[in-house]
RNA sequence: GGGCCCGUGGUCUAGUCGGUUAUGACGUCGCCCUUACACGGCGGAGGUCGCCGGUUCGAAUCCGGCCGGGCCCA
């Protein structure tokens, strides 16, 4: 059957998309094959599957397809991490409302509808990318089937003592009006002023004058002589007048500002630390909306920024503001909206963090690349507070508890009643403590990471009662940007709920940068979408870019050149396949023919080596190495060397062509399989022309038997042909021009069955005996680059004199030479004697290839 | 300030627990439309492997210092 001249990726990719059956990618619960469970990241359904996602998913799909071919029972589930602020904001924007304008349930419904339509759009991209997702294991965190499990996990951890409620300082975003966890705080550089002012006779420097009302102490270093003997004194807070103590603490930096710092509740984490350590008062100066509270007196109701300005003005007026310095600082902001966070004490829900247990589990996991483990270690080692999991938002999993209106007893639902929304339904029994039937449902909802951090439990079949039967998963693939969140929380939750590590291996991928080397962003205009690339060069080319563009784990720059090179590689293989199938079909050949010609043995040996290399690389998730090895084999070994070498034999009708046919058939078959994980459409299309069903249902190839002799002979043969090509090139001969007799003197003999002779259009002879060569001096070769500048107008006479020299002096030039009665120095390297070789009296050119002598009898 | 990663021909990049001539792609120069492919073939040019020092018979690779870039965290 003839292959079309051109490979039309758009037609081919569309056709296979329509042909492939979803069920072929399903995990089979009844299978006896070893399981391979992937804890796929559930993306946030923004409506676009961006290139960073595509990059991440390419790695996952390479592994999923490879493992299936290695006869694993693979689960490649697809989740959607739906809850969260961005969708709430989008809904407010679309409907022109704010979340408080409509009932909570109606707002949630709007969020769900938007999310579902976004998911549908993203599913389309996943399909076009040929990601072999198991759609029977899709999960959507906002649907009852999933968030029921989130609630169940909450109740389990509550019962296990991992979750507690407490009034404790938390990071708070006043724009989102919710508490957030440390993992959600992003630090941004900012220029601010350090303000020095008189504090009841003491000079204080502060960056947060607006917190003056929340001042609860002034601290100095215990060894700071400026403040000796002052500890314990009560100071009057300027403008407000309340009294605060002067305390000492070694954590105060005497070199910063005036060496005296005011402690407020709360300016930063350090304040919290001191507040706890010294049992200080709590003064809340800022409320949830970021406005000043009643204790701020005249400033109450102002936004903190307004208050800051007003207080500084009042300090100036009172002449206590002494000076201001510009200061570079890093301010904690909400990672979603970049609003500076406040630290405020609130009643919130927390998950206890046990760093030792988490690290123990983290160490049991194989980290790839290894150094990414350090990020986890660093993050865990500096945890100070527990994980704040309550949020004051709407579109999220409700915290499933009620409080008795009479005695404030906490009531939890029965597990079989989950999922519930405690704000719309009540408990099924009266309060067990006081018998009351009046309850208040918890309005706080859960941090979105509480949903996604049980993804692995969900896909491994957790039902709350036991160790999930598919647990732990084999693989967690994810980006390095969410190690401190998703990876950390997932390990924490697995340890808390099952007592063991969630996965055997974690594979970390890098971030995708724009073509200009910067992070992709709208403002830079360097965003490339997967759809753009698929449109122009096809999904397979994009997948190849993901594999070959960077070493696993490092960040990758998007690069059109790499995509184009990938698509050219496909074209090249397409043409190889066309040629091979044309030759195979041209005339029947024996399927039992021995593969014994040196070229054929060489091809099989190199193929075998390639299978070994690619397999090793796949096992180590080194996709760049795998694809590189494949490209080198297909392009260099197969196309440029092997096929060029055996073309003549294939064109012939001799029975020797059968070995080449067999070798080519086996090679094409194996090549398709090796490429299948990377270019599923292309490999399928090529393989379909071999007429043996889907390549994705095939087993992964095994390397053939080692054949070191075949490899060595073949390498020599290929090198000889390459050297002779170079020779022809230097002689200005076309590659197919006749070149007379070529004799190769090698031991043991490596007669190639005529391949090299046909390829070079030469009469090849193979000799075991060494050649009988006679070395005779030839012409003198002058180096004009030396002679010209040194001798100038004497050059002509110099050369004449040199030619006239006796042989031995031509071989070993004298120091001086006489020209026209003058003696002149012979410049270093002015000339050298060339030699000619005679074989049986006939002049030959001689080249040496790895110690093997090749003589060429040129046609006169 | 701490931790981690990186610095390789014009550009991007592989190699980094030591060992012939440093990988590939793009670009570039010359020749060739040879019955698979000009989206191709053949041949070439182009590298002080960031800088300095050390270990070693031998360093892009190991150690120390410095310079520059990035990420994560205070």
SS (H, E, C) A832-857: EEEEEEEECCEEEEEEEECCEEEEEE
With tokens 């067999």, the residue in question is A662
A578 CB-to-strand B distance under 7 Å = yes
- Nearest nucleotide to the CA of A330, by C1', is B74
pLDDT of A789? 61
Burial class (CB in 10 A: 0-12, 13-18, 19+), A785: exposed
Alpha-carbon distance of A13 to A128, in angstroms, equals 8
Q: Which two tokens stand for residue A395?
A: 């579109």
- pLDDT above 60: residue A860: no
**Regarding beta strands A185-199 and A773-782, do their DSSP bridges make them parallel or antiparallel, or are they unpaired?**
unpaired
- Nearest nucleotide to the CA of A561, by C1', is B26
Contact A472, A460 (CB under 8 A): yes
Burial class (CB in 10 A: 0-12, 13-18, 19+), A194: middle
pLDDT in tens, A365-414: 999 999 999 999 999 988 888 999 999 999 999 999 999 999 999 999 99
pLDDT in tens, A19-53: 999 999 999 999 999 999 999 999 999 999 999 99
Q: Smallest Cα–Cα separation from A687: which of A670, A706, A712? A: A670
Q: Which two tokens stand for residue A284?
A: 């809340």
Contact A601, A707 (CB under 8 A): yes
Phi, psi for A758 (deg, rounded to 5): -65, -40
Alpha-carbon distance of A18 to A378, in angstroms, equals 48
pLDDT band, residue A328 (cuts 50/70/90): confident
The pLDDT mean for chain A works out to 91
Q: How far is the CA of A183 from the C1' of B2 (A)?
A: 18
A644-651 and A708-730 helices, crossing angle to 10°: 100
A378 CB-to-strand B distance under 7 Å = yes
Strand B-proximal residues of A, range 259-288, CB below 7 A, are 269
Report the SS3 class of residue A197: strand
Alpha-carbon distance of A502 to A496, in angstroms, equals 11
Q: How far is the CA of A531 from the C1' of B29 (A)?
A: 37
Is the pLDDT higher at A176 or at A680?
A680
Strand B-proximal residues of A, range 682-741, CB below 7 A, are 722, 725-726, 729, 734-736
pLDDT of A183? 85
Q: How far is the CA of A562 from the C1' of B15 (A)?
A: 20
With tokens 């150094």, the residue in question is A371
With tokens 């070789």, the residue in question is A837
- Nearest nucleotide to the CA of A553, by C1', is B5
- pLDDT above 80: residue A473: yes
- pLDDT above 70: residue A788: no
pLDDT of A747? 74
The DSSP secondary structure of A786-843, one letter per residue, reads: HHHHHHGGGHHHHHHHHHHS-HHHHHS--SEEEETTEEEEPPTTSEEEEEEEEETTEE
pLDDT band, residue A751 (cuts 50/70/90): confident
Contact A92, A177 (CB under 8 A): no
Alpha-carbon distance of A142 to A43, in angstroms, equals 13
Radius of gyration for the alpha carbons in chain A, expressed in angstroms and rounded: 39
Q: CB count, 10 Å around CB of A432? A: 11
pLDDT of A598? 92
- pLDDT above 90: residue A182: no
Is the pLDDT higher at A334 or at A211?
A211
Q: How far is the CA of A754 from the C1' of B2 (A)?
A: 68
Alpha-carbon distance of A545 to A567, in angstroms, equals 10
Q: How far is the CA of A18 from the C1' of B41 (A)?
A: 38
Q: How far is the CA of A686 from the C1' of B72 (A)?
A: 45
- Nearest nucleotide to the CA of A732, by C1', is B31
Alpha-carbon distance of A474 to A75, in angstroms, equals 10
pLDDT of A848? 80
A481 CB-to-strand B distance under 7 Å = yes
Q: Phi/psi class of residue A761: alpha, beta or left (left: φ > 0; alpha: ψ in -120 to 50)?
A: left
Q: What is the mean pLDDT of residues A679-684?
A: 98
pLDDT of A44? 95
pLDDT in tens, A806-841: 777 777 777 777 777 777 777 766 677 777 788 877
pLDDT of A116? 98
| Angle, CA of A65, A70 and A72, to the nearest 5° | 80
Alpha-carbon distance of A779 to A85, in angstroms, equals 86
What proportions of chain A, in percent to the nearest 5, are helix, strand and coil? 45, 20, 35
Q: How far is the CA of A569 from the C1' of B26 (A)?
A: 14
A375 CB-to-strand B distance under 7 Å = yes
Q: What is the mean pLDDT of residues A143-170?
A: 96
A382 CB-to-strand B distance under 7 Å = yes
The answer to which of A485-489, A522-526, A633-637, A791-795 has the lowest mean pLDDT is A791-795
pLDDT band, residue A255 (cuts 50/70/90): confident
- pLDDT above 90: residue A569: yes
The DSSP secondary structure of A345-411, one letter per residue, reads: EEEEEEE---HHHHHHHHHHSEEESTTHHHHHHHHHHT--S-EE-EES-SSSPBP--EEETTT--EE
Alpha-carbon distance of A118 to A114, in angstroms, equals 6
pLDDT of A785? 58
Is the pLDDT higher at A656 or at A115?
A115
Contact A348, A177 (CB under 8 A): no
Q: Smallest Cα–Cα separation from A610: which of A590, A588, A627? A: A627
Report the SS3 class of residue A709: helix
pLDDT of A783? 65
Q: What is the mean pLDDT of residues A417-432?
A: 94
Over the range A106-116, which residues count as b (16 or more CB within 10 Å of their CB) and which as e?
ebbebbbebbe
- pLDDT above 70: residue A859: no
Q: How far is the CA of A40 from the C1' of B7 (A)?
A: 34
The answer to which of A601-605, A641-645, A829-833, A838-842 has the lowest mean pLDDT is A829-833
Question: Measured between alpha carbons, how far is residue A401 from residues A152, A396, A409, A705, A833 in Å?
Answer: 11, 15, 10, 66, 99
Strand B-proximal residues of A, range 352-371, CB below 7 A, are 371
Query: Which bases of chain B are contacted by protein, using any atom under 7 A from a CB?
Result: 2-6, 12-15, 23-26, 30, 32, 34-37, 39-44, 70-74
Q: How distant is the alpha carbon of residue A247 from its chain centre?
A: 50
The answer to which of A318-332, A445-459, A765-779 has the lowest mean pLDDT is A765-779
pTM of the predicted protein model = 0.91
- Nearest nucleotide to the CA of A648, by C1', is B35
pLDDT band, residue A314 (cuts 50/70/90): very high
Q: How far is the CA of A721 from the C1' of B31 (A)?
A: 18
Q: How distant is the alpha carbon of residue A442 from its chain centre?
A: 40
Report the SS3 class of residue A533: helix
Alpha-carbon distance of A761 to A647, in angstroms, equals 12
Alpha-carbon distance of A570 to A684, in angstroms, equals 12
A524 CB-to-strand B distance under 7 Å = no
- State the complex-level ipTM: 0.94
How many CA atoms does the CB half-sphere of A721 hold within 13 Å?
Answer: 25
pLDDT of A455? 97
pLDDT of A828? 66
Strand B-proximal residues of A, range 647-666, CB below 7 A, are 647, 651
- pLDDT above 90: residue A570: yes
Q: Is the peptide bond before A266 cis (omega within 30 degrees of 0)?
A: yes
- pLDDT above 60: residue A1: no
């Amino acid at each position: 059957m003839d292959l079309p001249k051109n490979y039309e990726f758009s037609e081919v990719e569309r056709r296979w998309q329509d042909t492939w059956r979803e069920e072929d990618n399903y995990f089979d619960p009844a299978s006896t094959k070893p399981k391979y469970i992937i804890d796929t990241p559930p993306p946030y359904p923004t409506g676009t599957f961006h290139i960073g996602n595509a990059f991440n998913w390419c790695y996952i799909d390479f592994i999923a397809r490879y493992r299936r071919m290695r006869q694993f029972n693979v689960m490649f589930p697809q989740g959607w991490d739906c809850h969260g602020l961005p969708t709430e904001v989008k809904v407010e924007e679309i409907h022109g409302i704010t979340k408080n304008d409509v009932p909570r349930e109606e707002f949630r419904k709007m969020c769900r509808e938007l999310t579902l339509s976004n998911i549908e759009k993203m599913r389309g991209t996943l399909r076009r990318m040929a990601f072999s997702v198991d759609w029977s294991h899709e999960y959507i965190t906002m649907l009852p089937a999933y968030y029921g499990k989130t609630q169940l996990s909450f109740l389990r951890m509550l019962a296990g003592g991992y979750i507690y409620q407490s009034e404790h300082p938390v990071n708070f975003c006043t724009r989102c009006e919710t508490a957030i966890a440390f993992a959600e705080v992003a630090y941004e550089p900012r220029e601010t002023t350090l303000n020095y002012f008189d504090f009841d006779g003491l000079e204080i420097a502060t960056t947060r004058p607006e917190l003056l009302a929340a001042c609860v102490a002034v601290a100095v270093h215990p060894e700071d002589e400026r403040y000796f003997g002052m500890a314990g004194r009560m100071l009057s807070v300027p403008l407000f007048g309340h009294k605060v103590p002067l305390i000492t603490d070694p954590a105060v930096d005497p070199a910063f500002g005036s060496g005296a710092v005011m402690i407020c509740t709360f300016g930063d984490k350090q304040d919290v630390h001191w507040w706890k350590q010294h049992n200080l008062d709590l003064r809340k100066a800022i409320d949830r909306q970021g406005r000043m509270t009643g204790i701020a007196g005249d400033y109450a109701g102002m936004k903190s920024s307004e208050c800051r300005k007003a207080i500084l003005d009042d300090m100036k007026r009172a002449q206590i503001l002494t000076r201001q310095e510009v200061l570079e600082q890093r301010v904690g902001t909400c990672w979603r909206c970049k609003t500076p966070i406040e630290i405020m004490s609130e009643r919130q829900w927390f998950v206890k963090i046990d760093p030792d247990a988490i690290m123990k589990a983290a160490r049991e996991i194989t980290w790839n690349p290894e150094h990414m483990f350090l990020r986890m270690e660093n993050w865990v080692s500096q945890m100070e507070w527990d994980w704040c999991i309550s949020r004051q938002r709407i579109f999220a999993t409700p915290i499933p508890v009620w409080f008795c209106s009479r005695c404030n007893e906490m009531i939890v639902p029965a597990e079989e009643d989950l999922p519930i929304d405690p704000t719309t339904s009540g408990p099924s029994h009266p309060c067990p403590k006081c018998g009351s039937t009046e309850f208040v449902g918890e309005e706080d909802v859960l941090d979105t990471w509480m949903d996604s951090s049980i993804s692995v439990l969900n896909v491994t079949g957790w039902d709350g009662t036991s160790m999930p039967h598919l647990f732990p998963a084999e693989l967690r693939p994810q980006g390095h940007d969410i190690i401190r969140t998703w990876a950390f929380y997932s390990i924490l939750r697995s340890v808390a709920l099952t007592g063991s590590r969630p996965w055997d291996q974690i594979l970390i991928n890098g971030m995708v940068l724009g073509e200009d080397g910067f992070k992709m962003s709208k403002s830079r205009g360097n965003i490339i979408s997967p759809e753009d690339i698929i449109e122009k060069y096809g999904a397979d080319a994009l997948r190849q870019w993901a594999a070959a563009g960077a070493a696993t784990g490092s960040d990758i720059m998007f690069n059109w050149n790499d995509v184009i090179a990938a698509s050219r590689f496909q074209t090249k293989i397409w043409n190889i396949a066309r040629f091979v199938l044309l030759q195979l079909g041209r005339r029947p050949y024996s399927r039992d023919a021995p593969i014994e010609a040196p070229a054929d043995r060489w091809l099989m040996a190199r193929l075998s080596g390639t299978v070994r290399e690619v397999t090793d690389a796949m096992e180590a998730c080194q996709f760049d190495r795998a694809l590189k090895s494949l490209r080198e084999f297909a392009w260099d070994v197969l196309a440029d060397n092997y096929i060029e070498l055996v073309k003549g034999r294939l064109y012939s009708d001799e029975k020797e062509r059968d070995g080449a046919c067999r070798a080519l058939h086996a090679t094409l078959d194996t090549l398709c399989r090796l490429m299948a994980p990377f270019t599923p459409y292309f490999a399928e299309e090529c393989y379909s022309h071999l007429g043996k069903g889907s390549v994705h249902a095939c087993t992964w190839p095994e390397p053939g038997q080692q054949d070191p002799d075949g490899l060595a002979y073949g390498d020599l043969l290929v090198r000889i042909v390459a050297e002779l090509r170079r020779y022809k090139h230097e002689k200005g001969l076309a590659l197919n021009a006749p070149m007379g007799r070529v004799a190769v003197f090698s031991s043991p003999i490596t007669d190639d069955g005529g391949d090299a002779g046909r390829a070079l259009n030469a009469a090849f002879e193979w000799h075991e005996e060494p050649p009988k060569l006679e070395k005779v001096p030839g012409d003198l070769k002058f180096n004009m680059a030396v002679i010209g500048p040194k001798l100038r107008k004497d050059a002509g006479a110099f050369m004449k004199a040199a030619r006239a020299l006796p042989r031995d002096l031509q071989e070993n030039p004298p120091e001086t030479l006489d020209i026209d009665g003058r003696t002149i120095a012979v410049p270093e390297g002015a000339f050298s004697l060339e030699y000619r070789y005679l074989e049986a009296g006939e002049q030959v050119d001689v080249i040496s290839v790895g110690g093997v002598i090749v003589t060429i009898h040129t046609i006169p």
